[in-house]
Chain A
Amino acid sequence: MFRLKGISKEKAFLEQVMERSGQNLLKCLQCGKCSGSCPITTQQVGGPRRLIAQILSGMEEAALRDPTWWYCVSCGSCATRCPVEINTYAVATTLCEMAAEKGIKPSEAGIHRFEELFLKSVEKNGRVRELHTVMEFNLRSLRPFADAAIGIRMALKGLITPTAMLSKVRSDEKVTQIFQNIQQKQKQKA
């Protein structure tokens, strides 16, 4: 059986996660209401209760590679039902940031790719260009015709119009500046 020895090295990861996320994981009762409420918890995706258990046990490597926080859609069901009010999507953000800082390869490449393309579109245009982002995602995922049937039906219904697809890309200097300011701060820290 896995037992903690109580040495400070074991606690370092837990303390970091708690400080950055603002969530007191030591209160966790392991009751499992979170995973029972969680829409993305399956046999393959461990879920929040298991993820918090890993963090409490100092299992840094396992926690940073866990697919749960990649799948998390921040629906807030776990936070709503948690008897000690732990907000798991705040923990997800912290783990995502820590994994990126440590250069750990995203365990869910597809979800990561989409989220990155989405933010790139925002950085460039100030707003996300949904259809362009989806098309780029499908191209880069080497499945250019995924959901083509839906795309054709959308075009027929006037949901996708040539004018919208070809419309001039707007730019928003203020938003681009926000991205730069934050990246600069993060570099200074590192």
Chain B
Amino acid sequence: MMKVSYYPGCSLEETAAAFDLSVRRVCEHLGVALEEIPEWACCGSSPALKMDRMLSTSLAAHNLAQARQQQTEDVVIPCPFCFRRLLSAQQEVQASSQTKQRVQEAIGAELDDNLKVQSLLGFLRFQVGLEAIAAKVRKPLKGLRVLPYYGCYLVKPATVTQYDDPENPVSMDQLLRVLGAEVLDWDFKTECCGASLAVSKADTVCELSGRIIREAAYREADALVVACQLCQANLDMRQAQISKKHGRKYNLPVIYFTQLMGLAFGMSFKELGMQRHLTSPKKTLKAKGVIQ
């Protein structure tokens, strides 16, 4: 049993509970023990990053300090933004002893540099590995045409994330192929969905997410597969508004990659929280024989 520190992040407690659910089920199935960081707090997200650099670095670093109590080597983070913030905070304190001292004063705790901060996708793809994942596949997703959508924060900027290729990442493609899905190629893997403008500038989000949805429809994909709950929310929840704007009805399920892993491992639709998406994947998955 592999033991790692787990940082779910605020969204996975609320609107993205389905992501959290599928992550926990899949990791358990793969023999990975996720130990939630005791009393973890918000990473500061985009508001702290925008408004106060010191606050942003300190909130992220606070969680690294909390994880020290657990005596694990890895911190695994499903949310790409939390992942980038915690990793960036670690890099910022490593790069400057002055920053490190200031941050330690602000959080009232010591930091050490040895924790390995990983995105969940990176952890599953590279540390658990494709072979171990392939060994668990019971129901291959044959004939399911999927488009992997990585979004921004997982891969950009490469100087921070140091993960995959920032323009043409392939780690999720590889993982989905192992599950038996038909993985389509496209140019929109790391285009922006509108991210944190989700609430304050809904028009911008409909424009940006709309471009992604339109392209996915053009490629005749059965589903978009995401690794980020903010991408999921923007692409799924705004789809009705985007349909209205484009004057055509889109019906494109936006599914977490962990949910597809769960289905391929033989878990049920409901067990993975898939009934919670606004654009229901049920009809498509039934038509393709993935679920009964």
Contacts and interface: CB of A to CB of B under 8 A. Distances in A.
A105 interface: no
A118 B51 CA distance: 11
A54 interface: no
B49 interface: yes
Given A92-B50, A164-B14, A181-B106, A122 B42 contact: yes
A125 B192 CA distance: 30
Interface string A71-99: 11111110110000101011011101100
A131 B194 CA distance: 19
For chain A, the bracket of interface size reads 35 or more
Contacts of A154: 15, 237, 278
A5 interface: no
Contacts of B17: 159
A127 B51 contact: no
B157 to A, nearest CB: 4
A122 B41 contact: yes
B271 interface: no
A28 interface: no
A93 B15 contact: no
Contact of B10 (A127, A157, A179): A127
A181 B192 CA distance: 35
Chain A: interface secondary structure? helix
Contact of A178 (B13, B59, B192, B278): B59
B45 interface: yes
Contacts of A138: 199
Nearest to B62: A178
B276 A159 contact: yes
A96 B41 contact: no
A76 B46 CA distance: 12
Residue from the set A39, A126, A175 with the largest chain B CB neighbour count within 10 Å? A39
A60 to B, nearest CB: 19
B62 to A, nearest CB: 6
A158 interface: yes
Contact of B41 (A72, A75, A118, A174): A174
Given A39-B194, A159-B15, A178 B46 contact: no
Given A73-B46, A182-B58, A172 B41 contact: yes
A189 B73 CA distance: 38
A182 to B, nearest CB: 5
B192 A73 contact: yes
A116 interface: yes
A150 interface: yes
Contact of B166 (A80, A172, A182): A80
23 contacts: A39-B194, A70-B50, A73-B194, A75-B153, A75-B195, A76-B152, A76-B161, A76-B166, A80-B158, A80-B166, A87-B157, A89-B49, A114-B200, A118-B45, A119-B48, A122-B44, A127-B40, A128-B45, A157-B276, A164-B14, A178-B107, A182-B58, A182-B106
The list of the 8 closest CB pairs from A to B, nearest first, reads A76-B156, A115-B47, A39-B192, A76-B157, A79-B157, A75-B152, A73-B195, A114-B200
